[in-house]
Amino acid sequence: MNINAEISNMFEKIANILEFRGENVFRVVAYRKAARSIRELTSPLSKIMEEGKLTEIPGVGKDLAAYIEEYIKRGKITLYEQLKQEVSEKLIDLSDIQGLGPKTLRKLHDVYSIESLQDLKELIRDKEELPEAGLRKKSLENLRQGIELYEQRQKRFLLGVALPVAENLRERVRELPTVSQVELAGSCRRGKETVGDLDILCVAEDGAGVIDAFTRFDEVKRVLAKGSTKGSVILENNLQVDLRVVEGKSYGAALQYFTGSKAHNVHLRRIARQRGIKINEYGVFRGEKRIGGENEEDIYEALDMVWIPPVLREDRGEIEKAAEKRLPKLVSVSDIKGDLHVHSKWSDGVLSIEEIVQEAIKRKYEYIAITDHSPSSRIANGLSIERLYDKLEEIDRLRERFKGKISIFSGSEVDIRNDGSLDYPDNVLKDLDIVLVAIHAGFRQDESKITGRIVDALSNRYVHILAHPTGRMIGIREPYRVNMEKVFEAAKKYSKCLEINAQIMRLDLEDIYVREAIRRGIKLSIATDTHHRENFDYMRFGVYTAQRGWAEPKDIINTYPFPKLMMFLKKAYG
């Protein structure tokens, strides 16, 4: 685990302990805000400290900067060590379970002496409710689901966490002596939303030397295996990494084999057998004769197929399309012409609108949408109508200043209230260039209620996009109960767009829904939901999700040039 992740996690744990103890809510929020800011940094905290800029990190004041400096220099934070003496780390970690915040955990600890996950599971095993802790039947059911998600999360890592680690390791392996080729494999290469472990393949003359160097990397906590062709390690963040050294003549076959998925590979090998061909990690063979394997393309060419991009290799029809030479021309990051979901300082973002615009210009975007929260999102500093119009005036001034360089959309992420109404009246919505609607409360309503709220929102003539449509947070919160069939029908009927939210804990829409939306002719937007400058980099994770859903540029509205996008927005306007 890198220093940023370590300190971010520590601040989050401090916040949980303080809340568990019933401390001042503003102090709790301060640590959480700092944890979030640090988690989303791209520069190492050690470098920021050397530059004397720790207090420039959003949410980090003098006291928290001192704690960061203490950890970098001494490897610990005294406050955290003191707090751990009062509340065990094993206990406070349970706060991460959905449905079990620090306050509920405190009740369970005080009433039932809960100290660990095992204690909690045994307590609720045969219970229908725990009234002393404020857990009725439904709450207890939700807690059981939360525990299941929590246990799954301990075994898998978010793609947005695992991929940067994998890419860093790949480049360091590439620099080792005698290495001539290296690439990622496994679910990480396929762009899956979560990753169980990392697979790296390379070609090298000195396999034993490469494996030895790999097992000595600084972030390695434990060596599981070490030989001349394979090394397996556990990193400090508990992520397992396997490095394999293969022969150059087998590199393509091995890369295809270890990329997977299992279902994709099984299907390919079944077709190969029918044609008298054998495919394995060593190559492509007809009888005893090797007919390919140096390149990945060899495997597919031997079966009269075009090469299949890794993101599609899930045995969802891609093999049949490859045989027909009719695979989709997938959307890429280079196709993206703007971001349509960005938060500024006006609500809960940390960048000014001008800073957002400058960043968008730097990324060569044609347009950018400023979509701060509406008033019901109080925790996100949602904008009253008066503040909204003040923001629109600022956008008008910036449009004049940046005229000819970029187009700026004035917008809002508008809450869909519990009764299905929107957070701004129509006479306000009509003054916005782009309107996103989203559910931020009432997650536990039944399916018909939540579905009705979304359908009502999509029927509004001033609405353009449904943001993070299912409300899920990977490994933390299940999607709310919603009838996606009816959501698709409404989006199609009213010519609305569904968002692929690129935040690494969301990736919402899920890839299977992306594909279904495309099948129905519903347009999509890939958006970063940016709150920090570093969030703009999440666009690639949204693109991975879109690709896994077979999306082409024509399916994604923010690949459109500005005039075409305006035509779509006017159509959605009703």
Each residue's pLDDT, cut to its tens digit, for the chain (574 residues) gives 467 878 888 898 898 888 888 888 888 888 888 888 887 776 778 888 888 889 988 888 998 999 999 988 888 888 888 888 888 777 888 887 877 777 888 888 888 888 888 888 888 887 777 777 777 787 788 888 888 777 766 678 999 999 999 999 999 999 999 999 999 999 999 999 999 899 999 999 999 999 999 999 999 988 999 999 999 999 988 899 999 999 999 999 999 999 999 999 999 999 999 999 999 999 999 998 999 999 999 999 999 999 999 999 999 999 999 999 999 999 999 999 999 999 999 998 889 999 999 999 999 999 999 999 999 887 778 999 999 999 999 999 999 999 999 999 999 999 999 999 999 999 999 999 999 999 999 988 999 999 999 999 999 999 999 999 999 988 778 899 999 999 999 999 999 999 999 999 999 999 999 999 999 999 999 999 999 888 999 999 999 999 999 999 999 999 999 999 999 998 876 6
CATH number for the domain formed by residue range(s) 157-246: 3.30.460.10
Could you give the CA distance from residue 105 to residue 112 in angstroms, rounded to a whole number? Answer: 10
Domain with CATH 1.10.150.110 in the chain: 3-153
Report the sign of the C-alpha dihedral through residues 243, 247, 248, 252, in that order. negative
Q: Is residue 265 within a helix (H) or strand (E), and if so which, with residue range?
A: helix 262-274
Residues of the chain with CATH 3.30.210.10: 251-323
Element holding 179 (H helix, E strand): strand 179-185
Query: One-letter amino acid identity for 539?
Result: M
List CB contacts of 131: < 8 A, sequence separation 6 or more.
Answer: none
Domain at 251-323: CATH code: 3.30.210.10
Q: Does domain 333-572 correspond to CATH entry 3.20.20.140? A: yes
Sign of the alpha-carbon torsion through 240, 116, 7, 28: positive
| Nearest one of 311, 296, 397, 394 to 345, comparing CA atoms | 394
- Retrieve residue 368's tokens: 């950018």
Q: What pTM value is reported for the model?
A: 0.81
The CATH 3.20.20.140 domain(s) of the chain lie at 333-572
Length of the chain: 574
Range list for CATH 3.30.460.10 in the chain: 157-246
Quickly name the fold that domain 3-153 has: DNA polymerase; domain 1 (1.10.150)
Cβ proximity of 185 and 259 under 8 Å: yes
CA–CA separation, 116 vs 90, rounded Å? 6
